[in-house]
Amino acid sequence: MSTYCSSTFIVCSSSSTHRPPAFPDKHDHFGARTASFSFQFKPVLRKLEHILKDVPQMAKMIPVKLLGAFVDLAFEIVDQPLLPSQSNFAPVEELGEAFLVTDIEGRIPKDFPEGVYIRNGPNPLFGGYKSAVSILGKSSHTWIEGEGMLHAVYFSKPNQGSWTIFYNNRYVESKTFKLEKQKNKLAFLPAAEGDPGAVFSAHLLNLLRFGMVDKYLSNTNVFEHAGRFYVTAENHVPQEIDIKTLETFGKWDLDGTWTRPFTSHAKRDRSTGELVIFGFYPQLPYYEIGIISADGKKLTQKVDLKFKRCTLSHEIGITERYNVIMDFPLVIDINRLLAGGPLIKYEKNGYARIGIMPRYGDADSVKWFEVEPAAAFHIVNCFEDGNEVVVIACKARGSIIPGPEFGLDKFEWFSRGFKHINSVGKTDQDSQDGAFFTRVYEWRLNTQTGEVKGRYLTGTDFSLDFPIINEKFSGIKNKYGYAQVIDSSASSISGMSKYGGLAKLHLEERTSEICQENQQAEELIKVEYHKFPQDTFCSGATLVPKSGSVEEDDGWIIAFIHNEKTNISQVYIVDAKKISSEPIVKIKLPNRVPYGFHGAFMPTYSS
């Protein structure tokens, strides 16, 4: 999941050229600085729209080299250190060419499809995540930033002989990646979190220097449409890649008809082959939905849903007839930044709603359902059941993005959020303890009566996220889902998400158990687990359906695995029907694969 930031403006005094101070202390007088900042920039707040219109003209008047020299003098770029428990979040170098893999434990099934298993993830340039320090304070990268790096494992069976496996990794070479690579140093100032003044100035300087406030991250997902392959993160449009070489061809904006951000989870309509997308932006229009033709050549529908706020939404759902829109209270607000607050904030007391929209409808056609505020980044599936639209998603009490308010202890905040809810006892809604504990939840939305029914489908044994299904069942009722199992203890120790296993969700099989959180009996679904060895964690798990399969769970789960004790990375292949059994194949990779985000399997890539 990736953040998005918008253009802003600040007047920099001549004193900005002085040497920056040391890091502000985490317990400094943040409130006083915020109040001062808010008072100083109230006139700017009132004139923001007018100022933003003038920024392109300002950029023409100020020499780029002069701005670059100013940034070099006024900002000190410093590393964000990693703890030993965070070692596999550190970036790796490119291999340079595909590597033949021969260390394979087990046998790849004969009916396993030829293709490429590929995963995206953040791999920051120049050694890791950075912060920029100036007289205005500090602005920093968040843990979900970093240039996209693709990790790909190629499965081929020449002349129906034995399997040949190659591994390769490569950066997504977007326009902004090439710019920083050419400069051989950080060019875009970090602008996602930090002191309001520092974040504010970073946005403006990035905009004046490069014409955009943040770089293409392209680090979240990989998808195929109309036989072409794309990588994406929701802060910009996708980049097209060559699936064989991992070469980047350039941005995909449909001949300039879609120039705003693009969801990390586009959904394909099973009946038409069209691609349903959306994009959010912190200036009007805040949220637009689009439909791309089945051949990928044109944008056939584009609708402003007339949101009253900019919601950082990660995923859209579809059914056979509807689009499902998640409007939850993770909000990007420029005015709040200008008033001295954070740019991105989870507003736990804000409203949350789910919209049901006819596939080709407009803003007035959306039927909205008010739901309890929560964080729900990932959808398992959506489908229609009579008059009801069923939405199944991974729901937590609090949002892991963007992190704590500036001035709080960041590590402690994340560590408390990852705690297992059974280990902290009964907590109130406002407690940070266990806030990220994620359970599978079902909303049933009656389009005739407006009634909302909701319930948890999974218990409190394990926290689950990054769900996957057999894509043939996207938008229709399905029996099975899969997810990565969050290791609450390891995640709390490191302050970063670590996934210590896999889970199979039997969506139509019910069981009953006592919920430890409230000591009440709940009717839940059956869940099977596959636990990895100690200190071993995964990322990018996906389902590989068996060629010609009829049953929904006929296939394999494949995932990148890393053992932190041995520092060895592997690919596991697990039978999707027998999720609790040992992996049928373990493929040892030639180098470390850092933890990342979403993976996909592209069959018959060589055709």
State the DSSP code for 445. E
Distance in angstroms (rounded) separating the CA atoms of residues 328 and 368:
12
* Range list of β-strands (E), 407-498: 438-446, 452-456, 463-468, 480-486
Residue 501 CA to its chain's centroid (Å): 20
Q: Pairing between strand 352-358 and 367-371?
A: antiparallel
In degrees rounded to 5, what are phi and psi of residue 45? Answer: -60, -45
Where residue 434 falls (left for φ over 0; alpha for ψ -120 to 50; beta otherwise) is left
DSSP helix/strand/coil, 190: coil
Point out which residues pair with 382 in neighbouring strands.
391
307, 355 Cβ separation under 8 angstroms: no
* Range list of β-strands (E), 475-598: 480-486, 499-515, 520-531, 536-545, 555-563, 568-575, 585-588
Distance in angstroms (rounded) separating the CA atoms of residues 409 and 399:
16
* Residue-level length of the chain: 607
Handedness of CA 500, 505, 509, 513 (dihedral sign): positive
Nearest to 440 by CA among 392, 384, 403: 392
Could you give the C-alpha distances from 123 to 29, 232, 283, 402, in angstroms and in order?
34, 14, 29, 18
Nearest to 374 by CA among 422, 322, 435, 453: 435
Nearest to 278 by CA among 298, 252, 302: 302
Distance in angstroms (rounded) separating the CA atoms of residues 148 and 485:
24
Token pair 């977007």 in the structure block, residue: 174
Nearest to 335 by CA among 304, 306, 307, 310: 310
Read out DSSP for 220-251? SEEEEETTEEEEE-TTS--EEE-TTT--EEEE
378 is in an annotated binding site: yes
5, 214 Cβ separation under 8 angstroms: yes
Q: In what order do the strands lie in the sheet with 99-101?
A: 99-101, 164-171, 148-156, 115-122, 599-603
Distance in angstroms (rounded) separating the CA atoms of residues 588 and 572:
9
Q: Nearest-5° angle of CA 474, CA 478, CA 481?
A: 85
Token pair 């670059």 in the structure block, residue: 68
265 is in an annotated binding site: yes
391, 398 Cβ separation under 8 angstroms: no
State the DSSP code for 602. E
The helix (H) or strand (E) run that includes residue 200 is helix 196-210
Q: Which residues in 553-568 are b (16+ Cβ under 10 Å) and which e?
A: bbbbbbbbbbbbeeeb
Tell me the binding residues.
265, 314, 378, 598
List, as residue ranges, the binding site for Fe cation.
Answer: 265, 314, 378, 598
